[in-house]
Amino acid sequence: MSAPPFQAAVGPSLAAAIGAVAEHTARLLRPCADTSVPIPGASWTVGEAAAHLFKANELMADLAAGRERTYGDGTAGSLAAANSVSLAAFTERDGTVLADGIVRCAEAFTEAARTRPADAPVFTPLGPMDLGTLGSYLLTHMLGHGYDIAVALRRPHMIDRERVDLTLPFLTTAMPRVVNPRTAAGHSACYELRLRGGSRFAATFTDGAVDVTARPPRRPDCTIVAEPVTFLLLALGRCTSMGALSRGKIVAWGRKPWLSPRFTSLFTAP
């Protein structure tokens, strides 16, 4: 399997994005007197999502500092089970307390990462990766749940083009690990993914297994061009391909453009 096409370093851009997203999420939570507000389309409330972010940021700060932590075995089912156990054990739901914890643990991550090389190996809830990719994972995770909190509270979210670019090292590393064995079984096709105005990469399926590379190894069967924010929301399962296609947020062409709506169903959102 080829190396992922994007390399991450916990440099100033990624560290600043982690801090800014944590602060944005905290600003949503601090004035929230009732965190039992449900998140649309999810089983969690705002308070539960915030508590999960607090504990996840704490976990990743520990990993960045070189402390070993286990959290499931990398499968979707085990991660969901670990989330349930964590939320049952950690019952804090006060918005201000959770806001402070999210920010404090994000700062602890960047401080710990600053003293270690970006290629330092770590074992994460989604398997082994380097420290730089773990930073991209942390940012991606905060953007997903921060978006949910913003939508539930009817406030502006924190996803933008620059931050989406910083999620790509994690997303392209994770893609082979989150293939849905049921929907991808027997599937063979070459996709080129392009973000409008920026990055591109390829995902090539061979009998249900995917290889992610900087360039297509052959002529793509389907080229998908996505508006960057929509791309991340699709990757995280926050919107559907058909909805994005109908709004013109993604377009597709190639020998088999009809494969485009199927693409996201080939994965289980991390």
pLDDT value at residue 90: 97
Q: What is the pLDDT of residues 136-156, one digit of tens each?
A: 999 999 999 999 999 999 999
Q: What's the rounded mean pLDDT across residues 126-140?
A: 95
CA atoms of 269 and 145, how far apart (whole Å) = 13
Summarised one tens digit per residue, pLDDT across range 40-60 is 999 999 999 999 999 999 999
* Comma-separated ranges of CATH 3.30.1050.10 domains in the chain: 178-266
Structure tokens at 201: 């990469």
Compute the chain's Rg from CA coordinates: 18
pLDDT value of position 185: 98
pLDDT number for residue 66:
92
pLDDT recorded at residue 2: 63
Report the CATH number of the 178-266 domain: 3.30.1050.10
For 12, 157, 189, 190, 203, the CA distances from 254, given in Å and listed in that order, are 38, 33, 12, 10, 14
- Residue 72 pLDDT: 85
Residue 270: the pLDDT is 72
pLDDT(229) > 60: yes
Residues 6+ apart with CB under 8 A from 163: 17, 21, 139, 143
Task: Please tell me whether the overall predicted TM-score, pTM, comes out greater than 0.75 for this model.
Answer: yes
The whole-number pLDDT of residue 141 equals 98
In CATH terms, the fold of domain 12-176 is Four Helix Bundle (Hemerythrin (Met), subunit A) (1.20.120)
Lowest mean pLDDT among 5-9, 34-38, 98-102, 134-138: 5-9
63-122 confidence digits (pLDDT tens):
999 998 888 888 878 898 999 999 999 999 999 999 999 999 999 999 999 988 888 899
Report how far apart, in Å, the C-alpha atoms of 164 and of each of 51, 57, 83, 185, 226 are: 24, 19, 25, 29, 12
pLDDT, one tens digit per residue, over 173-215 is 999 999 999 999 999 999 999 999 889 999 999 999 999 999 9
What pLDDT, on the 0 to 100 scale, is given for residue 174?
95
